[in-house]
Structure 1
Amino acid sequence: MSSPVISVNNLSAAYQKNTVLRNVNFEITPGSLTAIVGPNGAGKSTLIKTMLNLHPSLTGEVQYFGLPFKKVKKRIGYVPQRGSVDWDFPTDALDVVTMGLYGEVGWLKRPSKSHKKQAFEALEKMGMGDYANRQISQLSGGQQQRVFLARALVQNADLYFMDEPLAGVDAATEIAIMETLKKLNAIGKTVLVVHHDLQTVEDYFDHVLFLNKTIINHGKTEKVFTKDNITRAYGGNIRILGGGI
């Protein structure tokens, strides 16, 4: 059996005095495409931020490829929630994607023509080549999300975290993003996605992690995406979907 890409042990976190994650334990297998699902306030975004050292933990540890985050951060890509980004920052789409190469370029060095070419090719993969010189503030929400995904792609990471990449995007962008994630998955990349639409979980993801401040269940979608686990995670505040659930 392959060693886990991620091992989370007894992870807890809080905002001020409110505990938002409690004794979280799970492992992620290589090459999996995992949906992190749960109700509002379940701690889904906090989980990702805490795992990536963007929010302090109270207890626990996280290892990637058997090592702490600081030693492997160049192998990890992250797409934050679109609403957390300052889209008025004066820069164009190509520059945003080029920022994904900072680990290769170096913070104080100018990107070369080769770096710019890599960034442009990533934009083209997301159908955004024609918008390379467009200010990001002038892009639609779906276009902005495609640019941020291109920035993650250009890193050529082994592991990707994506915080609600499908929220508020048009149908064409949703299809384009999922095709990209599945292509990454097909070449052995591991992807974790905070996801809000239960109706598409079975079509989009091979693993699912139910979270409500702690782990409710986690495993292959075909085994754990059940009416019982949905009810346990969401309580009585959700209408159970039709179909096979």
Structure 2
Amino acid sequence: MTSSVIRVDDLSASYQKNKVLNDVSFEVKEGTITAIVGPNGAGKSTLIKTMLGLHPKLTGNVRFWGSPFKTAKKKIGYVPQRGSVDWDFPTDALDVVTMGLYGKIGWFRLPSKKDKEKAMNALKKMGMEAYAHRQISQLSGGQQQRVFLARALAQDAELYFMDEPLAGVDASTEKAIMTILKELKSNGKTVLVVHHDLQTVPEYFDHVLFLNKTVYAHGQTEEVFTTDNIARTYGGDMQWVGKGDQYVIQSSSH
């Protein structure tokens, strides 16, 4: 039986007085790739940040392998939204990836040759070795995203959180990222991805969590990715074009 990696019980959070998560509960099994989907303002990014202790919770409990985040954090990798990062910071791609190792090597010890090799191998995996010494501000959006994913890979985590990794990237970068995510899954890793494109959910993810401040549905994609669950989660934001299973999803929110 597949073991549980994440268990969230009655998690609530707010921004100022605006409640953005309300009694969120779900469980994630090992070796799965889960899409977190929902309309703008649904609390998708807040959910990840609250689970990782980056945003305060009001109520609830989050456990990783039965332990709190502080105990499990060395086994967890996080790729934030690209827009939340200061890309003008004067550093190159290799240094950004090497920073992903500081949790293991310590902030006050210089990275060894072996650490640098590990970081370079992660860049190679994302097809970015030629840009290792390029300033991150000089990279395109897709290249920046590849560097950020390489940083997470260098951590060699057991569990990965990714906040909109496919947003605004070109087709080749999207393909490269999904190849890596499926490879992580095949190696027994667990991945949670905030995702905006409903049409690619069945192709990319084996599990899906519908979130709009609370969980509307969660489970295997083939079972819960239904027009009913999509409509309940997105409410009036959805329009349906086509008939039967041959529908095109048009949403006013991304």
TM range (shorter): over 0.9
Partner Cα distance (2:230, 2:8) in 1: 22
Asked whether the 8 Å contact 1:76–1:159 carries over to 2, the reply is yes
Asked whether the 8 Å contact 1:101–1:155 carries over to 2, the reply is yes
Instruction: Please state how far the C-alpha of 1:241 moved relative to its aligned partner.
Output: 5.8
Equivalent in the alignment of 1:90: 90
Q: Which structure is higher in strand share?
A: 2
Asked whether the 8 Å contact 1:199–1:241 carries over to 2, the reply is no
Partner Cα distance (2:90, 2:112) in 1: 21
Asked whether the 8 Å contact 1:21–1:47 carries over to 2, the reply is yes
Structure 1 unmatched runs, 5+: none
Partner Cα distance (1:93, 1:36) in 2: 28
Q: Does 2:174 align with 1:174?
A: yes
Q: Indicate the SS of the match to 1:239.
A: strand
Percent identity, please: 72
Partner Cα distance (1:240, 1:201) in 2: 16
Residue identity opposite 1:143 in structure 2: Q
Partner Cα distance (1:102, 1:224) in 2: 39
Partner Cα distance (2:239, 2:182) in 1: 29
Structure 2 unmatched runs, 5+: 248-254
Q: Indicate the SS of the match to 1:240.
A: strand
Partner Cα distance (1:63, 1:123) in 2: 31
Q: Indicate the SS of the match to 2:101.
A: helix
Runs of 4+ in 1 over 3 A off after TM superposition: 241-245
Partner Cα distance (1:153, 1:42) in 2: 28
Equivalent in the alignment of 1:8: 8
Equivalent in the alignment of 2:52: 52
Instruction: Please state how far the C-alpha of 1:49 moved relative to its aligned partner.
Output: 0.2
Specify whether residues 70 and 241 from structure 1 end up closer, same or farther in structure 2 by C-alpha distance, changes over 3 A only: farther
Q: Does 2:115 align with 1:106?
A: no
Equivalent in the alignment of 1:19: 19
Partner Cα distance (2:11, 2:27) in 1: 12
Residues 150-196 of structure 1 show CA distances to partners (whole Å, capped at 9, x for unaligned) of 00000000000000000000000000000000000011000000000
Instruction: Please state how far the C-alpha of 1:105 moved relative to its aligned partner.
Output: 1.6
Asked whether the 8 Å contact 1:212–1:233 carries over to 2, the reply is yes
Equivalent in the alignment of 1:158: 158
Equivalent in the alignment of 2:42: 42
Q: Indicate the SS of the match to 1:179.
A: helix
Equivalent in the alignment of 1:136: 136
Q: Which 10-residue stretch deviates more, 235-244 or 14-23?
A: 235-244
Equivalent in the alignment of 2:199: 199
Asked whether the 8 Å contact 1:227–1:240 carries over to 2, the reply is no
Residues 90-133 of structure 1 show CA distances to partners (whole Å, capped at 9, x for unaligned) of 00000000001102221011101111010001000000000000
Aligned residues: 245
Partner Cα distance (1:42, 1:150) in 2: 28
Cα RMSD over matched residues? 0.9
Asked whether the 8 Å contact 1:33–1:207 carries over to 2, the reply is yes
